[in-house]
Copies of this chain bind each other. A is one copy, B any other.
Amino acid sequence: MPYRRTENVVRRLAARHDAIMAAACQIAMEGGMAALQIAPVAQRAGIATGTVYRYFPSKADLVAALAAALADVEIVALEAAAKAAPGPLSSLAAAITTFAARALVQRRLAFALICEPVEPEVDRARLCYRHALASEFEKLIRRALDAGRLPAQDAALAAPALLGAVIEGLIGTRAPAVSAEPGQARARVQMLTLFALRALGVIDARARGLVVQTQLPEPSGGS
């Protein structure tokens, strides 16, 4: 028997895989997509440049994996927020608020994953992040529609539009130092939630108690 991967080796390989992802995540968070280059990622992960290619066939694959992983985290947060809400409409409200708040706090990362310029190939890999989020919102919208809580509309179209509004409202602006003053951040999240809910046809969400104050989550570098 020529060679067999020991349990230990498997663990080491997996650990390295994770280390690369974590390094990529950190770098994207700090410097955006422009800084997300193979050499720096390798360096931060404590390995050589070429080693990265033993774990990911290409940079685009790495970005795709990163986007998918981060999308998962986001989806989980959104579903948790939605599930905790009593009805379909407040689920939607909670999801929007959650997304806005998280994107605001991790603004750099969100920006990197959604807006920042990159080569087309990498961009394609990154698309899944956007799509995963849109699908989640689409699902929630559809539920509210089925429950008769929203005026008739095309959920598949409303979802990306909603996403676009929140994203642009948060990070597309030449936004001043929002993070400096948490009150302002909360106000903006709330405003965008109202905006998005109104767009979907929810009238006077505030009076209905749909919009709640959420504590802003801590920034974290989960991979």
A residues near B (Cβ < 8 Å) are: 34, 116-120, 122-123, 130-131, 153-154, 156-158, 160-169, 172-174, 188, 191-192, 195-196, 198-201, 203
Residues of B within 8 A of A131 (CB): 174
Residues of B within 8 A of A166 (CB): 161, 164
Residues of B within 8 A of A167 (CB): 164, 168
Residue of B34, B119, B164 near A169 (CB, 8 A) is: B164
Residue of B nearest to A115 (CB): B115
Interface pair A157/B130, CB less than 8 Å apart:
no
Interface pair A168/B160, CB less than 8 Å apart:
yes
Interface pair A172/B195, CB less than 8 Å apart:
no
What separation, in Å, do the CA atoms of A201 and B194 have in the docked complex?
9
Residues of B within 8 A of A118 (CB): 117
Decide yes or no: A172 and B203 within 8 Å by CB, A34-B120, A120-B117, A195-B161 being known contacts: no
What separation, in Å, do the CA atoms of A2 and B158 have in the docked complex?
66
Residue of B nearest to A199 (CB): B199
Residues of B within 8 A of A158 (CB): 169, 195
Known contacts A117-B123, A164-B172, A203-B203; 17 additional CB pairs below 8 A are A116-B120, A117-B117, A117-B119, A117-B120, A130-B172, A131-B174, A156-B173, A157-B173, A157-B188, A160-B169, A163-B168, A163-B172, A164-B165, A165-B165, A167-B168, A198-B199, A198-B201
Q: Tell me how far the C-beta of A186 lies from the nearest C-beta in chain B, rounded to whole angstroms.
A: 13
Residue of B120, B163, B191, B201 near A153 (CB, 8 A) is: B191
Q: Tell me how far the C-beta of A4 lies from the nearest C-beta in chain B, rounded to whole angstroms.
A: 44
Interface centre among A116, A118, A119, A198 (most CB of B within 10 A): A198
Residues of B within 8 A of A191 (CB): 153-154, 157
Residue of B nearest to A172 (CB): B160
Q: Tell me how far the C-beta of A156 lies from the nearest C-beta in chain B, rounded to whole angstroms.
A: 8
What separation, in Å, do the CA atoms of A192 and B158 have in the docked complex?
8
What separation, in Å, do the CA atoms of A4 and B141 have in the docked complex?
68
